[in-house]
Structure 1
Amino acid sequence: MKISLLIGTYGTRIKEMEVLFDSIERQTYKNFEVIVGSQTNHDEVEKLLSKYSFDHRHIVAEGTGCSKSRNATMEYCTGDIYTFTDDDCWYTDTALEEVNSHFEKYNPDVAIFQNFDPITKKSTANYPKHEILGISRMQTLKQITFDMWFNSSSIDPHTNRFDERFGIGTKYNSGEENVFIMDAYNNGKRKMYYFPIVVAYHPYKKVNYIDENSMIGKGPLFKRLFGGFFGFILFIAFCIKKRSEIKSNNDGKYTSIVIKAIKEQFRFKL
């Protein structure tokens, strides 16, 4: 099987991309392509890519936001398997070999693996210890973009797209991967399997997605994921469950933030 590594980048992490490209060059499995969509510093990205022998294509991704750059790379994807590679992650030497073997054995719509920070010895996610041959609809909300590897025959990269209203660099700064995988799940692509195997490394980052700006974005996100009625109910339940956390991360503010998020949810068009 051919594997496509789709890398959307703003173009500023040149040193990090060098580490990534070095790891790609070392792969024991060689049937792959790399497609990079850069939004700035195109010449620097091209100069870096020219150092490597692996099959690659570099395109200019118009606009800003990770969803736009990922969508741009999807147009050129020719692999049987594809993934969205972060520009600051890197791979184990046998990563692609591991991924390919699991696709050959299980033929999933989506295969989900682990990432790990070898410096801090931490992972951003709390991964289950055992494999899951069929994650639930709600479990799709816990997945990290570059942990997921997609079967192009069932989730076609030329017809499936990220919702460009969500993700880093947009008004609603998270949730793009949740929308993408939820759309696939809702379209009947339910063979989503998790394997407790580290195939990627990534710097550990303590993320805060309940600051005021992120919380306001969650109103529209819940609507996009679950529709108007259930999106509203589930968002209110989320706010109640996370009440103390929201307050502690926003200098004690809670009610005003929830109200702003609800208003934004009502304004958001599906």
Structure 2
Amino acid sequence: MKMEVLIATMKRDSIDFLEKMNIESDTVVVNQLGDIPSNQREYKGKKLIIKNALETGLSRSRNMALSLSTADICLIADDDIKYVPGYEKKILETYEDYPEADIIAFQVDRIGGKRNKAFRSSVHWENKLSLFKISSVEITIKRQSIKKKKLSFNENIGAGTKFGQGEESVFLTDAYNRGLKILYVPIKIGETDVSDSSWFTGYDKTFFKAKGVSFYLMNPRWHFLLYMQFIFRKYSMYRKDINLRSAYLAMCEGKREYIDLIKGDRND
């Protein structure tokens, strides 16, 4: 099996950041609003594909990178991840151990902030509820599996859009609903510094509007139940920033705005 790291980045004019990421495998870089010299096609003896793009939006970058990839296994990456030595071997060996898995989530530790994440300590085959525990940079994918199911990231949500989060949960839910097998393994492959997050601005109305959209897309019929479980279960997390009623109403507002956005796109 061959693996590629799929990196979404912005406004780069060089590949210096790959050194900080400790890249040691074949790589695809989608560089929005930047200009890395197009003749750069190798990095430390490994294949490097670079696409400079004028379009913005994290989900759009993810989809573009997937379309450029030719690998068996793809690792979803942001440009602020630092990978552990031997990460490629760890990932490929895990797929050999679990050949039935279509998607495997690994451990990417969070450092430098208050939003640290407690990872599960045992292997777990994911279900609709446990998918919420997975972040995008923890995801690896069998490329042919998602290609056969015609899966992609929703380009109307995620960083760089009006609804700036939740694209990974929607993607994983779509994959699960279409019969793909998703596994979590407690193996660390990297870490990310969250001290200066570019998308998280607090538990405000914008945050809950985006949550409302992602929950709606994950379960259009029973999304309001997801709203209720989240606002009650996570109340201690956000209670200093917004009250329970306002959080719920923001979710509903986000859903309405998303539906209007999609209707507008169809009418154009």
2:28 pairs with 1:7: no
Partners of 2:13 and 2:194 in 1: how far apart? 16
| Alpha-carbon shift at residue 223 of structure 1 (Å) | 0.7
Partners of 2:19 and 2:238 in 1: how far apart? 38
Alpha-carbon spacing, 1:13–1:91, altered in 2? closer, same or farther (3 Å): farther
Partners of 1:244 and 1:89 in 2: how far apart? 29
1:101 aligned partner: 93
Identity %, equivalent residues: 25
Structure 2: unaligned runs, 5 residues or longer: 263-268
In the alignment, which of 162, 180, 183 is matched to residue 174 of structure 2? 183
Partners of 2:246 and 2:113 in 1: how far apart? 38
5 Å matches for 1:85-234? 85-107=77-99, 108-116=101-109, 124-132=116-124, 134-156=125-147, 159-190=150-181, 192-205=182-195, 210-227=203-220, 229-234=221-226
Aligned to 2:179, the other structure's residue is in SS state coil
2:253 pairs with 1:263: yes
Q: Please, what TM-score do these two structures have when normalized by structure 1? A: 0.83
Structure 1: unaligned runs, 5 residues or longer: 26-31
Partners of 2:247 and 2:210 in 1: how far apart? 11
Aligned to 1:75, the other structure's residue is in SS state helix
Letter in 2 for 1:224: L
| Alpha-carbon shift at residue 150 of structure 1 (Å) | 0.9
Per-residue deviation, residues 172-200 of structure 1 (Å, max 9, x unmatched): 1110111111110000012x222111111
Q: Please, what TM-score do these two structures have when normalized by structure 2? A: 0.84
Root-mean-square deviation (CA, aligned residues, Å) is: 2.8
| Alpha-carbon shift at residue 60 of structure 1 (Å) | 2.1
**Do the aligned partners of 2:6 and 2:66 also contact (CA within 8 Å) in 1?**
yes
Aligned to 1:210, the other structure's residue is in SS state coil
Partners of 1:102 and 1:230 in 2: how far apart? 35
1:75 aligned partner: 67
Name the structure with the higher strand share: 2
